[in-house]
Amino acid sequence: MGLALMIVDDSATMRKIIMKTVRMSGVEIERTEEAGNGIEALEKLNQGTVDMMLVDVNMPGMGGPELVKKVRELPSCSNTKIIMVSTESSQELIDNMLASGANGYITKPFTPENFQKKLMQCTN
């Protein structure tokens, strides 16, 4: 059975690129959702949980760090994997995101190969 996936990024172009890269990675996807910021993502999660979220850090309204904390408070999302996807690459931020509940971190620009590697790490 494939994954239910949510892509959260304020750039519609970046959401398309991420979607394309996920499809190229060979990971089986059953359903995809998109959200433009943390608030939209939480609204969609209230209607149904997902197996994996790919989450940008910087977004207007509610960014990735706050979203991760809120998702980790939702019992329905206790098994949801969260992978951050961001141009921000400071080790401090990466460590903070992992400490607050993210399962992985991918820096932009990414290659299909390193994207696939992270997805595989998180789906196994």
Residue ranges in contact with Mg ion by CB under 5 A: 10, 56, 58-59
Nearer to Mg ion, 49 or 102 (CB): 102
- Rounded to 5 degrees, φ, ψ at 109 are -75, 145
Q: How far apart are CA 8 and CA 74, in angstroms?
A: 17
CB of 76 to Mg ion, least distance (A): 25
The angle formed by the CA atoms of residues 8, 88 and 24, to the nearest 5 degrees, is 50
Can you say how many angstroms the Cα of residue 21 is from the centroid of all Cα atoms in its chain? 13
Pick the closer one to Mg ion by CB: 48 or 60.
60
Sorted by sequence, the CB contacts under 8 Å of residue 30 that are 6+ apart come out as: 1, 2, 3, 4
Per DSSP bridges, beta strands 52-55 and 3-8 are: parallel
CB of 58 to Mg ion, least distance (A): 4
For Mg ion, the closer of residues 71 and 84 by Cβ is 84
Is the CB of 51 or the CB of 56 nearer to Mg ion?
56
Least Cβ distance, residue 124 to Mg ion (angstroms): 28
Minimum distance of Mg ion from residue 80's CB (angstroms):
20
